[in-house]
Amino acid sequence: MAIVYEKQGQGEHVFTLHTEHSTYQMKVDGHGYLLHLYYGGKVSGCMDYLLTYYDRGFSGNPAAAGLDRTYSLDTLPQEYPALGTGDFRSSALAVCNGDGSQCCDLKYAGHEVRKGKYGLKGLPAVYAEQGEAETLEIRLRDLVSGVEVALLYGVLEREDIITRSAVIRNGAGTGITVEKALSGCLDFVAGEYDLIGFHGRHAMERNFQRTAIVHGNQVIGSRRGTSSHQYNPAVIVAEKGAGEDHGSCYGMMFVYSGNFMCEAEMDQFGQTRVMMGLQSEYFRYPLEPGEELVLPEVILGHTDRGLGKLSRMFHGLIRNHICRGKYAGQARPVLLNSWEAAYFDFNADTIVRLAESAAQLGIDMVVMDDGWFGKREDDNSGLGDWQVNERKLGCTLGEMIERVNGCGVKFGIWVEPEMVSEDSDLYREHPDWALKVPGREPVRGRNQLVLDFSREDVREFIFDRICSVLEQGNIEYLKWDMNRSLADVYSARSVQGKVTYDYMVGLYDFLEKLTAKYPDLLIEGCSGGGGRFDAGMLYYTPQIWCSDNTDAVDRLRIQYGTSFLYPISAVGSHVSAVPNHQTGRMTSLHTRGVVAMAGTFGYELDPGKLTDREKEEVKEQVIRFKGYADLVREGDYYRLSDPFRDSCGAWMFVSPDRAKALVNVVMLEVHGNMPVTYVRLKGLKPEGIYEDAESRRRYSGAALMNAGLPMPLRMGEYPAYQMELNEVRLS
């Protein structure tokens, strides 16, 4: 069994969660507190010998300990630390009781073990078949206030993954307010650790950052109403010295698309606490008697085989237990998006010409981006008015789609349902539907406001309008965009303090209904590119536009950071025109293609502006990618270099049976008389013999992994190489 329960004497209970290669253990002690014992490589036996008890100055002793000054929650590792118990470290839970006091003294009140993976009402979560997972629910209760917390643990044994969530219930006779609510906490009694996070900005997301966890608090998170371009809701806690292929690493990923926080703290005794959950700012969640708050899930994974192994664990989990629907395990269409080809300047003939070009190049789909609806000639008006501008198109949407399909090409469309322009019919009719602070002029972003998706009537209206568009023709793809942060956090209908959480629950409700009504529709998430690239959105949209920055060199670094916890199958990546529209950089079509193949693959340009030679190269790229699509989507991904430090960006895909590999290298530095760059491969069979599909040269797997391959010295900017290796079956 993945979950083992053992009752000990004097009210003590030990819970052990086993995955294939890891163990997570906790214990209810004789005072009723739930203490964390261990999380790491697989072990047996009770780990409570790791707990130590000393009289520590200024560390308070709970009443349950009597006169025992060696027992303090300020020094013991805990599963769910709460404010007001004498633990002066950061807490996972802070409650303001009806009398104004801030204390929640949680004690064990029972537990349940059951087959299958728990679900979360109104929230995305890891899913699994009945035989693939087990659930442990531990109930805690404050005997004075009546506040109850149900801690939920999901164990996916074969995936080496444990999930954590919590449900906070008000069992008191008066109202309470939840002021802080984190979903997961890891306490380490010893060791030195680094915190690896992924910071960025619009058009340069998920930059790798590794810092030592030192005395004091390190906090990352988002107050923007989205998971944000600035910080991603996924981190890695790595022991000192852990690298790509060795060392102990812990992954923590928040399955949520709104405000979040991650806290890392080393305390006075060198113990480390790392927690993740809802952002405390803009959050004060009142609960009346009998009401409950369901917290989003944190995914935990551990390996002692380094960052690369941890990445592959999370890649498999997201592909198989987060992404849902028709396209979760299918090849995605290669698409041509109209944005960088035409921006707002198009009509139906423009889109059909793109479709004709796409068909000639072997591209599967054309997507009509922003500008097809309402009064929308630029980004200053029209959002919310989801009626087709037939005057601009020159025909109905249905007629245009028929012409596109007549070219042998699928059709997709762009929407931004959560937003409204002040210059729109919708805003003039319903100004109260936008999030605004009373008595103040709104904070604008991109000259647009945010619709109050915490309100069911607003969601229903927009849902009906979007569906009316989708019903007008054979629309097979929807790009869902969201182009500003939430600054005016006030709703005319919601209780203040609940708005950001209720907004996200409302958005998830909208997406759940949309995916249920259109199960064959491929939805790509987007928020100015990668501003909402998280597991919560991947539950509804199996791919996300990785960044608005399509420059191949910048994308190497963006996609590198993304790869640490998110699978390549989720990464929206396209070949764009040069000079690049974001950087002005010139890179070859070949290099752009190699980089974009580390993703869903498509094009962001006008094929009519390509030379005949370039068109032939595009045809070859499309054929090549389709041949590799299964390997890229389902293969094991290996980082072979660090593009922030090394002279090249290099990565490879290896089939599950290790018989096929695709090696990709982009040179970032070219110098006169420069040294040769050698790239060591990974994931191959050491005893295997591999043949280069192009040169027919053969290599041993051990040689390729230990000595590497020399990269040819070529002139020009950012030359790229792509090598297919196939295992040779020797008789």
* Cβ atoms of residues 472 and 398 within 8 Å: yes
Q: How many other β-carbons are positioned within 10 Å of the β-carbon of residue 469?
A: 18
Report the relative pairing of strands 147-156 and 134-142 from DSSP bridges: antiparallel
Q: Which residues contact 442 (CB under 8 A, 6 or more apart)?
A: 434, 436, 449, 488
What is the SS3 assignment for 192? coil
Query: Residue for token digits 């939840």?
Result: 178
476 classed as catalytic: no
132, 502, 534, 634: which one is catalytic? 534
99, 614, 616, 717: which one is catalytic? 614
Alpha helices in 277-330 (DSSP H): 306-321
State phi, psi for 649 to the nearest 5 degrees. Answer: -105, 120
| DSSP conformation class of 675 | P
727 classed as catalytic: no
- CA–CA distance, 122 with 337 (Å, rounded to integer): 33
What is the SS3 assignment for 315? helix
Annotate 554-579 with three-state secondary structure.
HHHHHHHHHCCCCCHHHEECCEECCC
- CA–CA distance, 178 with 293 (Å, rounded to integer): 9
Residue 450, amino acid: V
Secondary element (H or E) of residue 507 = helix 499-517
* Cβ atoms of residues 345 and 193 within 8 Å: no
Q: Which residues contact 414 (CB under 8 A, 6 or more apart)?
A: 339, 367, 368, 369, 370, 372, 478, 479, 481
In terms of Cβ atoms closer than 10 Å to its own Cβ (0-12, 13-18, 19+), residue 98 is middle
- CA–CA distance, 611 with 626 (Å, rounded to integer): 23
Q: Which residues contact 205 (CB under 8 A, 6 or more apart)?
A: 198, 229, 232, 529, 530, 531, 533, 546, 547, 558, 561, 562
State phi, psi for 138 to the nearest 5 degrees. Answer: -115, 125
Catalytic (active-site) positions: 534, 614
